[in-house]
Amino acid sequence: DTAVSQTPKYLVTQMGNDKSIKCEQNLGHDTMYWYKQDSKKFLKIMFSYNNKELIINETVPNRFSPKSPDKAHLNLHINSLELGDSAVYFCASSQQINSPLHFGNGTRLTVT
């Protein structure tokens, strides 16, 4: 069973479009995250979500919005996609804040 699963694995879209990436975890964890990994493999936090509290990295454009229908899901919606949004996006979860992270296998987003 996949602990943290995200879909789609690949997403190719044009500038200006709106897209969503879904993430689900079956570990019963309380905290979920979205990370962005750029072309140099640098992983940077975008959001963390714990007990309905959303912590936003202030450098993330407001075109990005996480949506959590329940504790097991944290989806990422992106409006008006730009070329610079191309990257691999990772969902992760942890039992609580500062517990080890469990990552999904990433969504490679390509904006053309």
Partner 1 sequence: TQLLEQSPQFLSIQEGENLTVYCNSSSVFSSLQWYRQEPGEGPVLLVTVVTGGEVKKLKRLTFQFGDARKDSSLHITAAQPGDTGLYLCAIPDYGQNFVFGPGTRLSVLP
Distances from the Cα of 54 to the Cαs of 8, 9, 23, 26, 47, in angstroms? 23, 25, 16, 20, 7
* Interface positions, 42-81, toward partner 1 (CB under 8 A): 42-45, 48, 55
Compare residues 4 and 76 and give the one whose CB is closer to partner 1.
4
Please tell me the distance from the alpha carbon of residue 64 to that of residue 18, in angstroms, as a whole number.
Answer: 10
Residue 36: closest CA among 95, 91, 94: 91
Compare residues 14 and 41 and give the one whose CB is closer to partner 1.
41
Binding partner 1 (rule: CB under 8 A), the pick from 25, 29, 33, 81 is 33
Bridge partner residues of 93 (DSSP): 32, 102
Contact region with partner 1 (CB under 8 A), list: 11-19, 22-30, 41-49, 68-76 = 41-49
Residues forming the site for partner 1 (CB under 8 A): 4, 33, 40-45, 48, 55, 90, 92, 97-98, 100-106
